[in-house]
Amino acid sequence: LFRILISESARLIWNLRCTRRIEHEDDPSWQHPPAAVESACWKVIDDRFNIDRILTNKHV
Q: Backbone phi, then psi, for 57, in 5-degree steps?
A: -75, 120
- Give the single-character DSSP code of 47: H
DSSP 8-state class, residue 19 = H
pTM summary value: 0.78
Condensed to tens digits (0 to 9), the pLDDT of residues 11-52 reads: 999 999 999 999 998 888 999 999 999 999 999 999 999 999
